[in-house]
């Protein structure tokens, strides 16, 4: 039986509007954002440390300020949750 590795979602987008994309990675518990040089910029748990069911991430300029916000949706297994994070200040 083939086992699939941990659910993980990756995207690249410009979260601070500086013209360079950051890499955003979601695993079961945390969202991590890496600078273009590979250093970690920020890591956080959108649904708390106990959330282990994974999440899906998307991005969009929700507040129309030229930088993209990160939209995080919880996978099945809990309450239907979507959170939006403005990470422009997380440098
Ligand atoms: Ca950027
Ligand atoms: Ca924005």
pLDDT, tens digit only, all 91 positions of the chain: 455 444 468 998 888 888 899 999 999 999 999 999 999 999 999 999 999 888 989 988 888 888 888 989 998 877 788 899 998 776 5
The pLDDT, as a whole number, for residue 6 is: 40
Distance of CA 10 from the midpoint of ligand 1 (Å): 16
Report CA(17)–ligand 1 centroid distance (Å). Answer: 5
Which ligand lies nearest the alpha carbon of 37?
1
Q: How far is the CA of 87 from the centre of ligand 2 (A)?
A: 9
pTM, whole model, 2 decimals? 0.81
pLDDT at 21: 92
Ligand index nearest the alpha carbon of residue 33: 1
Q: From the CA of 86, which ligand is nearest?
A: 2
- pLDDT at position 75: 87
Residues contacting 23, CB < 8 A, separation 6+: 10, 11, 12, 33, 34, 36
Which pLDDT does position 3 carry in this prediction? 55
80 CB-near residues (< 8 Å, 6+ apart)? 74
C-alpha–C-alpha distance, residues 48 and 60, integer Å: 23
60 has which bridge partners? 69
pLDDT at 68: 86
CA-based nearest residue to 31, from 91, 81, 73:
73
């Amino acid at each position: 039986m083939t086992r699939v590795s941990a659910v993980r979602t990756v995207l690249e987008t410009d979260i601070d509007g500086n013209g360079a994309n950051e890499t955003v990675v979601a695993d079961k518990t945390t969202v991590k954002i890496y600078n273009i040089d590979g250093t970690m910029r920020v890591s956080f748990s959108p649904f708390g440390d106990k959330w282990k069911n994974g999440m899906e991430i998307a991005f969009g300029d929700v507040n129309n300020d030229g930088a993209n916000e990160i939209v995080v949706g919880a996978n099945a297994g809990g309450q239907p949750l979507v959170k939006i994070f403005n990470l422009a200040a997380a440098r």
